[in-house]
Amino acid sequence: MELLFHNLLSSEIASVAMSILIRTSAVLVPSLERSAPKNYKLAPSFGFSPFMVMFARV
């Protein structure tokens, strides 16, 4: 049971880290905004919250 909890916690930490990485890379790399199509908006918040993933798995 302890191993299962540790695995779930590790996957939650990884999902939070990935969402932070995706958000900051869209902000820090200005060339992404120039090469993106006009109808696609790159923004730091795109409607995904890492807390939604954490609460969905509990």
Higher-scoring residue by pLDDT: 37, 21: 21
Domain, as residue range, for 34: 2-57
Between residues 28 and 37, the one the model is more confident about = 28
pLDDT at 28: 64
Stretch 17-41: mean pLDDT, rounded? 65
CA dihedral over 22, 27, 30, 34, signed as positive or negative:
positive
- Chain centroid, CA 16 distance in Å: 6
pLDDT band at 46 (very low <50, low <70, confident <90, very high): very low
Calculate what percentage of the chain has a pLDDT beyond 90.
Answer: 0
- Positive or negative torsion for Cα 35, 41, 45, 48: negative
Counted domains in the chain: 1
> To 10 degrees, what angle do helices 2-28 and 50-57 make?
160
| Ramachandran bin of 14, using left for φ above 0, alpha for ψ from -120 to 50, beta for the remaining angles | alpha
Q: Minimum mean pLDDT among 5-19, 22-36, 43-57: which range? A: 43-57
